[in-house]
Amino acid sequence: MNTLPGIIWPELPDCGVYLTWPQDGVEWIHPDDIQLAEELIPSGRVFRRVSFDGIYYRLEYGDKVLRVKPTMWSKVHDQGFWIGDQVEIKGDFLTNEPSIAVITEAIFDASTGMIAYTLVQRDMILDKNYHADELRCLTRRPEKLATRSDFKVETSEEIPNDGLPKLKE
């Protein structure tokens, strides 16, 4: 955690939403990102705050990136699913048939305190939104794999072109 006298910075990455537009006009947004910020905020979209350069936080929403100065936002619990993740819809023999889809939206519902995920399957948006307990992430990410004891992350030229670590027996 970064610290300056009297200031404690959050541990990154974390997740949050801008349910209202901050009171500071647009001075809190990087000048190159104002138009995109106006398209995405305010909303229930769940942003990932991934880094801080000393002036701006880098927020990600799928492939969309915003740079914003420290501002008031509502922190949301990271449920481990990101936009672009391939997921399995868990079957329950009643309403969900097991299938594979991709997350295209992550929207926080303040009334339930849960994130609703919009999924695409075969280039069609599914009618139903899903919650974390109905999904299983199929996307492999080094930070998720690093908690497993059955592999080692390679740091040499042996990393394959897809950028994923090789599993070691």
pLDDT at 167 over 90: no
Q: Which residues pair with 117 in a beta bridge?
A: 106, 130
Give me the mean pLDDT over the 116-129 stretch.
95
> Where does the pLDDT of residue 24 fall: very low under 50, low under 70, confident under 90, or very high at 90 and above?
confident
Angle at 52 between CA 49 and CA 57, to 5 degrees: 50
**Rounded Cα–Cα distance for residues 152 and 169 (Å):** 8
Averaged over 42-71, what is the pLDDT?
95
What is residue 136's three-state secondary structure?
A: strand
- The SS3 assignment for 161 reads coil
Contact 39, 100 (CB under 8 A): no
**CA dist., res. 108 & res. 98, Å (int):** 24
**pLDDT mean over 144-169:** 47
Q: What pLDDT does 143 receive?
A: 58
Q: Quick one: which of 67, 62, 41 has its CA closest to 52?
A: 67
The Cα–Cα gap between 3 and 149 comes to 32
Per-residue confidence band for 142, with pLDDT thresholds at 50, 70 and 90: low
As a whole number of Å, the CA-based R_g of the chain is 18
pTM of the model: 0.77
Output the six-digit token pair for 143.
């930070």
For the chain, the structural domain boundaries read 3-76, 86-138, 140-169
Query: Is there a cis peptide before residue 10, judged by omega within 30 degrees of 0?
Result: no
